[in-house]
Amino acid sequence: MNNTAPASTHASTDRDSIDREQLTRLSMTEWATALREGRLTAIECLEVHLERIAEANPRLNAIVTLNPLAAEEAAAADRAAAEGRSLGPLHGVPFTVKDTLATKGLRTTAGSPLLGDYVPEQSATAVRRLREAGAVLLGKTNCSEFAVETHTRNPLFGDTWSPWGPGLTSGGSTGGDSAAVASGMSAFGLGTDFGGSIRWPAHCTGLASLRPTVGLVPETGLLPYLPPAAGESLPVPNSMSALHRLGTVAWLARSVDDLGVLLGILAGPDGGDPSTVPVPLGGPVETLDGISCAWFEDEGTHPVREDLVAAVRRAAATLNGLGVPTTHGRPPGLERAAAAFVALRTAEGMPEVVELASGREDQLGSNLRNTLLGAEPVSVADYRKAAAERDAIRAQVLGFMEQHNILLLPVASVPASDPRTGSFTVSGQDIPWTELGSCCRAISILGFPVAVVPCGLSREGLPVGVQVVGRPYRDREVLAVAAALEREFGRFSPPSPSPRSED
């Protein structure tokens, strides 16, 4: 089964010979070019996506709230084009947003009955910047409740499934966006990544994703928070929170080029989030000169299936063939990183959710309710100890990266799987579903930029993503390596038409 499409494949965008199926596989930048050159109107672009939503969303359950003003926004983009005005680099391009990011005038629930009717008065900074760049908001996508599970399901909207096959997860917690983008319902998706919430979904559905250096993109407007009173601003992200110190707004798309365009739009302080820093990122990195690479099979505690390791090995060999010095070896200390991430996350708990749920705990989904009610209080001293362990690991890995400035490793122990499977046996070791993403958690603790790019298929014919990790604020360098791999392995698309999911 061949599900790859070369990166050089471009769909015809002439009005008289529109191939709808090809159009749904265009990258964000290809859509933007077609709109800018007048080969399609924004309304035509929106109609293509709405038709695909009508076809695929009942099976996949990816988009949970449509924007009723999307047609009005697309029409405004066409009027501006007719007057010779561009609304920005994303003029008329439709996108979706994870339901944990506030959208002005559009329901934002975080997948929880606690926020089932919440309609923000303001948008998250990242959402606002995309709309100011001319993008058209299609709607909100499903996520696990308050973004804590690795499969996308919640008490409000149920499960989201992958377009790659029945009963397969699209990942979590940004699984709604990954299913929407992979199936052609959206040109790109805006989500978040704390412990792998953008990388695991990209791996599951054959997409490219970027988790930028933590601190580049403001998290203002990211749930959980207590909804502000009428007329009040969105709350400022807490700079002491592990969620904001280790997580970030992140995004996925069908092409690495898309990731870089979005980075240029989204990065930079907003005057609200105190953790966001003004770092000049520069333009795209055009060559791989000065880059060296180390690759490894896993993060040191949970093994990865051999066919997924083979994808990392092929990626390393590809870079070596392009003149990038490549070494096989894992940074010292990384074997402690996933545990350090869990320790910090557990130590903090979810205080905003606890406060939001006070007296209404019965409205939470059972998994989240059990997690919150079973949590033991942790002292400030224990939190400081966990933070010190994180800093020590980070220093060790940075020292290693003085010689190997790019790291390659798997995303997860297995490809997309049935979320009803409790555990997997890999290399003789039993790995619970909740531990499949240890390779992601190990990188999350560092706060470094990391892209995911698909580099082959598993033995089942499912996409296999590879993490490309760089040094802090070297996001453009990471994207240059990811783009080189994409040129070699091509872009990946699920079988068409999308298969029906199992209930």
User: What is the Cα–Cα distance from 479 to 132, expressed in whole angstroms?
Assistant: 24
User: What is the Cα–Cα distance from 62 to 185, expressed in whole angstroms?
Assistant: 9
Question: How confident is the model at residue 18, as a pLDDT?
Answer: 54
Bridge partners of 98? 141
Catalytic-labelled residue, pool 27, 112, 186, 197:
197
Is residue 458 part of the annotated active site? The answer reads no
For residue 83, what are the contacts with CB-CB under 8 A and spacing of at least 6? none
Question: How confident is the model at residue 376, as a pLDDT?
Answer: 77
Distances (CA, A) of 189 to 23, 25, 130, 147, 350: 17, 14, 11, 15, 25
Question: How confident is the model at residue 14, as a pLDDT?
Answer: 53
The amino acid at residue 290 is G
Read off the pTM. Answer: 0.95
Q: Which fold has domain 24-361+377-492?
A: Amidase signature (AS) enzymes (3.90.1300)
Question: How confident is the model at residue 106, as a pLDDT?
Answer: 98
User: What is the Cα–Cα distance from 173 to 145, expressed in whole angstroms?
Assistant: 8
Distances (CA, A) of 180 to 103, 143, 497: 18, 12, 14
Which of 481, 466, 454 is CA-nearest to residue 410? 466
User: What is the Cα–Cα distance from 314 to 159, expressed in whole angstroms?
Assistant: 34
Consecutive H or E run containing 139: strand 136-141
The amino acid at residue 257 is D
Tokens 């000049």 -> residue = 280
CA angle 75, 222, 387 (to 5 degrees): 150
Dihedral pair phi/psi, residue 465, rounded to 5°: -90, 155
The amino acid at residue 179 is A
User: What is the Cα–Cα distance from 465 to 232, expressed in whole angstroms?
Assistant: 42
Consecutive H or E run containing 263: helix 256-266
Catalytic-labelled residue, pool 27, 170, 173, 444:
173
pLDDT in tens, the chain (503 residues): 334 433 333 444 554 445 888 999 999 999 999 999 999 999 999 999 999 999 999 999 999 999 999 999 999 999 999 999 999 999 999 999 999 999 999 999 999 999 999 999 999 999 999 999 999 999 999 999 999 999 999 999 999 999 999 999 999 999 999 999 999 999 999 999 999 999 999 999 999 999 999 999 999 999 999 999 999 999 999 999 999 999 999 999 999 999 999 999 999 999 999 999 999 999 999 999 999 999 999 999 999 999 999 999 999 999 999 999 999 999 999 999 999 999 999 888 899 999 999 999 999 998 889 888 777 778 888 889 999 999 999 999 999 999 999 999 999 999 999 999 999 999 999 999 999 999 999 999 999 999 999 999 999 999 999 999 999 999 999 999 999 999 999 999 998 754 444 43
Q: Is the peptide bond before 173 cis (omega within 30 degrees of 0)?
A: yes
Tell me the domain boundaries of the chain: 24-361+377-492
User: What is the Cα–Cα distance from 359 to 336, expressed in whole angstroms?
Assistant: 38
Q: Which two tokens stand for residue 456?
A: 């082959």
User: What is the Cα–Cα distance from 106 to 68, expressed in whole angstroms?
Assistant: 9
For 169, which DSSP code?
B
DSSP string, 418-475: -TT--EEEETTEEEEGGGTTHHHHHHHTTT--EEEEEEEE-TTS-EEEEEEE--TT-H
For residue 385, what are the contacts with CB-CB under 8 A and spacing of at least 6? none
Bridge partners of 491? 5
Is residue 385 part of the annotated active site? The answer reads no
Is residue 112 part of the annotated active site? The answer reads no
- CB burial string 177-205: b at 16+ within 10 A, e below: bbbbbbbbbbbbbbbbbbbbbbbbbbbbb
For residue 462, what are the contacts with CB-CB under 8 A and spacing of at least 6? 164, 165, 168, 204, 415, 416
Question: How confident is the model at residue 261, as a pLDDT?
Answer: 98
Bridge partners of 139? 66, 96
Catalytic-labelled residue, pool 27, 98, 178, 255:
98
In the chain, how long is the greatest CA-to-CA distance?
68
